[in-house]
C-alpha cells in the first residue's frame, strides 16, 4: 500500500512540474513539439542514471584518497605538504554530474587541482640588498 502511495505522489509531482514548463515554452514562442522538451528530459534522465554509478565511484575514490593522504601524513611525520598533494586531487573535483556537463556546456573535473608548489627559496632580487 505504501509503495502505491509513493508512486502516486511522485507521479503527481512530475505532472505538476510539467504543466508550468509547458506553459513557459508556449510563452517563449517555442512548441513542445520541437523536441527541446524531450531532449532536456532525456539529458536530465541521463544525468540521473549516470549519477547512480558516478557518485559512488567518486565517493570511493575520495575515501581511498583521504586514507592514503592520512597515511602519508603519518609516515612523513606530519608533512602537510605531502598529505595535501594527495588530498587535494582526490577530495576535490565534481561529485555530482549535471545535465550541462553531459551536453558539454560545463566541464567535468573528476580530480581536483593539485596544490601549487611553493616558490623556490633560491636567490631573489630582494636578497641583493642584504648582500651589499
Distance (Å, rounded) from C-alpha 93 to C-alpha 67?
A: 17
Per the CB < 8 A criterion, the answer to whether 108 and 97 are in contact is: yes
Residue 73 binned pLDDT confidence (cut-offs 50, 70, 90): very high
DSSP string computed for 66-117: HHHHHHHHHHTTS-HHHHHHHHHHHH-S-SS--HHHHTTSS---SS-PPPPP
In the chain, beta strands by DSSP E: none
Is the pLDDT reported for residue 104 higher than 70?
yes
Residue 2 binned pLDDT confidence (cut-offs 50, 70, 90): low
Per the CB < 8 A criterion, the answer to whether 109 and 92 are in contact is: yes
End-to-end CA distance of the chain: give it in Å, rounded: 88
Taking residues 6-31, report their average pLDDT: 52
Distance (Å, rounded) from C-alpha 97 to C-alpha 95?
A: 7
Taking residues 114-120, report their average pLDDT: 62
> Between residues 98 and 126, which one has the greater pLDDT?
98
Note the pTM of the prediction, 2 decimals: 0.57
Q: What is the pLDDT of residue 62?
A: 92
Distance (Å, rounded) from C-alpha 1 to C-alpha 12?
A: 17
Residue 26 cell numbers, joined:
508556449
Is the pLDDT reported for residue 81 higher than 50?
yes
Amino acid at each position: 500500500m505504501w509503495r502505491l502511495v509513493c508512486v502516486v505522489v511522485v507521479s503527481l509531482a512530475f505532472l505538476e512540474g510539467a504543466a508550468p514548463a509547458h506553459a513557459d515554452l508556449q510563452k517563449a514562442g517555442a512548441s513542445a513539439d520541437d523536441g527541446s522538451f524531450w531532449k532536456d528530459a532525456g539529458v536530465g534522465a541521463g544525468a540521473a542514471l549516470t549519477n547512480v554509478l558516478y557518485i559512488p565511484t567518486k565517493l570511493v575514490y575520495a575515501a581511498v584518497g583521504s586514507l592514503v593522504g592520512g597515511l602519508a601524513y603519518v609516515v612523513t611525520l606530519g608533512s602537510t605538504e605531502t598529505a595535501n598533494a594527495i588530498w587535494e586531487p582526490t577530495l576535490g573535483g565534481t561529485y555530482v554530474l549535471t545535465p550541462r556537463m553531459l551536453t558539454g556546456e560545463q566541464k567535468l573535473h573528476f580530480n581536483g587541482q593539485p596544490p601549487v608548489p611553493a616558490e623556490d627559496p633560491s636567490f631573489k632580487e630582494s636578497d641583493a640588498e642584504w648582500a651589499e
